[in-house]
Amino acid sequence: MKTYEDINWLLDNELNFEAGIGCRLRCGGCMMRFQMKPGSPEYKSQAWDRRYNIPFEKYKVIFDVFNMVQFCGNLSDPIYHPDFIKTLKYLKGRKMRVRFHTNGSGKTMEWWKDVFKICQGEKKWKWIFALDGLPEESHKYRENQNGKQVWEIMKLAKEMQMYIEWQWIVFKYNQYHIDEGKLMAAQWGIPFQEMHSSRWVDDRWKGAKDMRVYEPSSEHRTDQRQDHIEIPINIGRSVGAMEVYRPTIDEFEIDADCLAKLRKDIMFNSMGYFIPCCEKDQWVESMEKRGFYQEKFHIDNLHTAEDIKDVFMSDTWQNFYKGLGDDPMNAPRQCKTFCGKSHFHKDNMGGDSKGFV
């Protein structure tokens, strides 16, 4: 359990930072594609009416607490936040480790040149470009992405001495082009990361036709991973293509990522609150019942670094952490699903050297 005496664990862990709701893409497996529409069943339950672009002046105090920040949204892309460049300038020179995850599309080359000029000299900053396939085919999943433009931006980044990485999620349409992508990356000295998604069980996800382009191997199928969870389970009611897993015994272990250094980030979300990890972001009602969405924890009411540290030292947070170890049966369902003790759930990469997203 994390206690006040070791509050410096905050400084040693990364913050997953999502202060906005902007994205120009409509990827088939993204919650935003279906759930942000007024009138959809999830619009209220997942608090789309309470999400917004949080202003820089409100959130800048967060950077006085954390030494490592990851701009990687569940529901947005950081480059579209109206205060993104202002944030870059504020972070410059603070000697923080910063990672930017982006689809890289929709901004002009001049905009990118200005951004990379700000980033020059920051050896702890890295850009991760999500280009799922060769430049001419990435739009088959990342709808509205201009892959050819993104590839040119990646080359510009290397020319301007940025630290970057090419993230390639494997789909049916790109699985036989991986070697060609690796060769392109090697020619420009760009690290290449092959990823396999655990977001869906099969080719269906709330009826998104885009999902049918994905053909997972048995090694990477979500249901194969969940077969290895070391607790007996009953399958409950179906939720889209996913299932609700419920333990059938009185005790089991949770190998909680949020309690392990550098395994799962605390998240700051687009509602203006901190939550234990990004897997909890869409489960608003569950987190409200556990006390995470109290007004005193909202960024509007946090003005100093000490205010933020007090959030994590509150009974709400401390009881949550303690409960994961002492009373795992009453842990949130997502903790049981994602962090149930498993052969796959280890080494920070799901037991898969190629990585899961």
* pLDDT in 10s for each residue of the chain, 357 residues: 455 456 666 667 789 999 999 999 988 777 766 666 777 777 777 888 899 999 999 999 999 999 899 998 778 999 999 999 999 999 999 999 999 999 999 999 999 999 999 999 999 999 999 999 999 999 988 989 999 999 999 999 999 999 999 999 888 888 889 999 999 999 999 999 988 765 544 444 444 454 555 666 666 555 554 444 443 444 343 333 334 444 443 445 777 777 766 567 899 999 999 999 888 888 899 899 999 999 999 999 999 999 999 999 899 998 998 888 788 888 887 787 777 665 555 544 444 444 444
Report the pLDDT value the prediction gives residue 265, as an integer from 0 to 100. Answer: 83
Alpha-carbon span 102 to 104, nearest angstrom: 5
Neighbour order of strands in the sheet with 97-102: 192-195, 164-169, 125-130, 97-102, 68-71, 14-17, 266-268, 274-275
Q: Which of 307, 281, 255 is nearest to 72 (CA)?
A: 281
Q: Give the C-alpha distances (Å, rounded to integers) separating 271 from 39, 258, 276.
A: 19, 20, 14
Confidence at residue 353, expressed as pLDDT on a 0 to 100 scale: 42
Domains (ranges, CATH) in the chain?
A: 4-339 (3.20.20.70)
DSSP state at residue 168: E
Res 185: pLDDT? 97
Q: Sign of the C-alpha dihedral, residues 87, 93, 99, 104?
A: positive
Question: Is 90 in contact with 117 (CB distance < 8 Å)?
Answer: no
Cα angle 170-157-151, degrees, rounded to a multiple of 5: 40
How many residues comprise the chain? 357
Do residues 341 and 229 touch, judged by C-beta distance below 8 A? yes
Angle at 37 between CA 34 and CA 42, to 5 degrees: 65
Tokens standing for 12? 């040693």
Between CA 250 and CA 147 the distance in angstroms is 50
Q: What is the pLDDT of residue 350?
A: 44
- The answer to whether the Cα torsion of 268, 274, 279, 280 is positive or negative is negative
Q: Which amino acid is at 98?
A: V
Structure tokens at 321: 């952490």
pTM for the whole structure:
0.85
pLDDT of residue 217: 63
The pLDDT score that the predictor gives to residue 92 is 97
pLDDT attached to residue 236: 40
Coil, helix or strand for 169?
A: strand
Distance CA 74, CA 58 (A): 20
Return the number of other C-beta atoms located less than 10 Å from residue 331's C-beta: 18
